[in-house]
């Protein structure tokens, strides 16, 4: 699906903060229930991709923090 690829590419280039803002927008749209079912499904799919992107970014940050902490602990020993 062409749109899905474009969406994945767009999300991949987003910062964590941009992705969170977009998730908040989607949450507001879905919560309002003022959109049709098809639009809800499209927005839900985008939200899933954004969630996965944010989780990946968080995991990467945690790994970096763990590495820094290990280096700091070794130099303090």
Residue 1 has pLDDT above 50, yes or no: no
Residue 34, judged by CB atoms within 10 A of its CB (0-12, 13-18, 19+), counts as exposed
Assessment of whether the complete model's pTM goes beyond 0.75: yes
Of 9, 8, 40, nearest to 27 by C-alpha is 40
Q: Residue 50: its pLDDT value, please?
A: 97
Is the pLDDT at 49 greater than 60? The verdict is yes
What's the pLDDT tens digit per position in 2-43?
A: 578 899 999 999 999 999 999 999 999 989 878 899 999 999
74 or 49, which is more confident = 49
The residues, any chain, with a CB within 8 Å of residue 58's CB and separated by 6 or more, are 16
pLDDT tops 80 at residue 77: no
């Amino acid at each position: 699906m062409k749109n899905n690829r474009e969406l994945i590419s767009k999300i991949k280039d987003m910062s964590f903060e941009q992705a969170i803002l977009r998730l908040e927008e989607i949450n507001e749209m879905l919560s309002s229930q003022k959109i049709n079912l098809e639009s809800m499904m499209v927005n839900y799919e985008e939200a899933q991709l954004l969630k996965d992107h944010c989780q990946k970014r968080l995991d990467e940050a945690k790994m970096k923090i763990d590495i820094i902490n290990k280096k700091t602990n070794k130099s303090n020993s």
